[in-house]
Amino acid sequence: MAYTIDRIVTGDFNDVIDRVIAALKEEGFGVLTDIDVRATLANKLGVEFRPYRILGACNPSMAHQALQMESKIGAMLPCNVVVQQLPDGGVEVSAVDPVASLGRVGNPELGKVAGVVREKLERVIAALG
């Protein structure tokens, strides 16, 4: 089972980041965390790595619903969206598939919320054209 929703787009890496954040906002998500993996690996290990960012996206309404159903679900939040530079110059955007990740919890009501979140993330990825 695939665990991400993916799309390869063209454009400058930082411009793609801006487009992703804007598309997330259109679907009611905010970005709670922004991890610059390239900078972290350079600082901590002194190694070069391709541009790679992990955006921790949260839709407060959906998160609230999930937290009411499962008190420990916060361990699986926020929804991560990876933006990475590919060797050929393209930029890949990958969002976690919440149905794949939350489906293992075994709560059918939570599964319904995960399905709504997946639809939103699919629209985010599709909007990047």
pLDDT tens track of the chain, all 129 residues?
689 999 999 999 999 999 999 999 999 999 999 999 999 999 999 999 999 999 999 999 999 999 999 999 999 999 999 999 999 999 999 999 999 988 888 899 999 999 999 999 999 999 998
Do 124 and 105 contact (CB within 8 A), yes or no? no
Q: How many structural domains comprise the chain? A: 1
Domain housing 49: 4-127
Cα–Cα dist 123/111, whole Å:
18
Residue 101's CATH number: 3.30.310.70
Cα–Cα dist 5/7, whole Å:
7
Tell me the three state secondary structure of residue 10. coil
Structure pTM?
Answer: 0.94
